[in-house]
Structure 1
Amino acid sequence: MLQGPVIILTSFAYLGILFAIAYYADQRADAGRPVIANPYVYSLSLAVYATAWTFYGSVGRAASDGVGFLPIYIGPTLMIALWWLVMRKIIRISKQNRITSLADFIASRYGKSALLGGIVTIIAVIGILPYISLQLKAVSTSYSILVQYPEIVMPQALGEQSMRDDTALWVALILAAFTIAFGTRHLDAAEHHQGMVAAIAFESLVKLLAFLAVGVFVTFILYD
């Protein structure tokens, strides 16, 4: 069983690394030497699609249904084939109209309707809130598992928790601070949020190495 303070300190150390990488990338971008102008960094940043809940959902579906989890990825896989054509057009339209959001993009295609943009914004917020809550729940559950292992008690079995013990709340505040610092400082269509992209790429590399390590362990060591 890992001690809570150890997990917290490790988490803050990791967040510190992410902040440092994001800050470094922003400084390089300001100096005209961007670190994200690299196909490997860009490819790794696309893994933002795979969230914390993707890990629980995909692994859970694979454990219960076998290959039944694969259809989840059919859409993104098919989209890759059209990526070059579709993304070029989206980027061109966004730069021409200085578009910074999905609502603005859709509204611009229909006479720049403010009403339509508002409706799209409301639908997007309603649609994404449950998914964000799942991400926070996944992080909170992971923390609980690490602290309590091998005697695991899921959060819902603990009853009402105080604000001090609400892991999801603190994670949300930290993520909000990170997003404000490196993601939403400038609402400019030409702004690429290079610090954010670099941090996501580094996270993806860590996840990739972690999954490979677990895969090697399970395949060659666990059942040997």
Structure 2
Amino acid sequence: MRTDAIVLSVAFGYLALLFVIAAWGDRRAEQGRSLIGSPTVYALSIAVYCTAWTFYGSVGRAAQYGPGFLLIYLGPTLAMLMAPFMIRKMVRIAQVQRITSIADFISARYGKSQGLGALVAFIALIGITPYIALQLKAITVSHAVLVNYPLAPELSLAEEAFWVDKSFWVALVLAVFIILFGTRHLDASERHEGMVAAIAFESLVKLVAFLAVGIFVVFSLFRGPGDLFSQVAASPEIRAA
């Protein structure tokens, strides 16, 4: 069983590393030596899309329903295929109109209506709040699993004060990170290079972790891809789905 101190030290050490990378990226940008002037870095930064839903929701759906979970990623895949036509145009409009948010973008389409912009911002806030809560819950669950493994995680946080919840402190750290490297300057011409660099590094860590777990599962728990797919095909749960 891992101690709470070790898990928290590793977690906050990782967050500190992201701070260092973001600060380094901003400093390089100020010196005119961009750290993110590469399609690879931008591609990795887009992988921020893979959040807690990826390593909890998607894995769970894959285990329960098989390859059908891939339909979740159909929308983002089509969006990237349309990027040269749609997203590039949106970026060009945002630069010309000096737009920094989706609310500004939609309101600009209809005469820069402040009322419409406020409505869009409110809807976005209501829509994203449960999703952010899901990410924080994933942090809490992950911490409980790591500390209590192989025992079942003890999730009694609803009965405890909010300052006992580890995700509360992680949320504060992430808020400081966003303030320092994201919303410090709301300028349409600014690229937030430090944040992009940190997100790209985080995506690289995720990619390596998923590949490591995948290789372990395929070649250690099973006898290769053929054995894995044959056992999946023979699973009554998958066949019923």
TM range (shorter): over 0.9
Separation in 2 of the partners of 1:20 and 1:86? 34
8 Å CA contact 1:141–1:154 kept in 2: the answer is no
Superposed CA deviations along residues 21-66 of structure 1, whole A, max 9, x for unmatched, are 1000000000111111111101100101111232111001111111
- Give the distance between the partners of 1:98 and 1:206, measured in 2 at CA: 33
Q: Say whether the 8 Å CA contact 1:107–1:116 is kept in structure 2.
A: yes
Shift of 1:154: 4.2
1:93-147, CA deviations, whole angstroms, 9 ceiling, x for partnerless residues? 1111110000000000111111110110010000000000000001110000000
Aligned CA RMSD, in angstroms, stands at 1.2
- Aligned partner of 1:63: which letter? A
Which structure 1 residue ranges, 5 or more long, are not aligned? none
Q: Which residue of 2 aligns with 1:113?
A: 113
Letter of the aligned partner of 1:178 in structure 2?
A: F
- Tell me which residue corresponds to 1:181: 180
Letter of the structure 1 residue corresponding to residue 21 of structure 2: I
- Once the two structures are TM-superposed, the CA of residue 165 in structure 1 deviates from its matched residue by 2.1
3-state SS in 2 of match to 1:94? helix
Mapping for residues 1-224 of structure 1, pairs under 5 Å? 1-155=1-155, 157=156, 159-223=158-222
- Given that 2:141 and 2:153 are in contact with CA atoms closer than 8 Å, whether structure 1 keeps it comes out as no
Q: Secondary structure at the match of 1:2?
A: coil
> Is the contact between residue 2 and residue 147 of structure 2 (CA under 8 Å) also seen in structure 1?
yes
Supply the distance in 2 between the matched residues of 1:175 and 1:159 (Cα, whole angstroms): 22
CA distance in 2, matches of 1:48, 1:159: 29
Counterpart residue type for residue 206 of structure 1: V
Q: Which amino acid aligns with 1:200?
A: I
Q: CA deviation at 1:162?
A: 2.5
SS in 1 for 2:118: helix
Q: 2:23–2:194: 8 Å Cα contact kept in structure 1?
A: yes
Q: Which runs of 5+ in 2 are unaligned?
A: 224-241
Aligned to 2:233: none
**122-131 or 77-86, which deviates more:** 77-86
Q: TM-score by structure 2 length? A: 0.89
Deviation at 1:167, TM superposition (A): 1.4
**Higher mean displacement: 63-72 or 115-124:** 63-72
Aligned letter for 1:15? L
Give the letter for the 2:185 counterpart.
H
Structure number with larger C-alpha Rg:
2
- Counterpart in the other structure of 2:228: none
TM, length-normalised to structure 1: 0.96
* 8 Å CA contact retained: 2:3, 2:147: yes
Checking the alignment, whether the CA contact within 8 Å between 2:62 and 2:69 is kept in structure 1 is: yes
Number of residues paired by the alignment?
A: 223
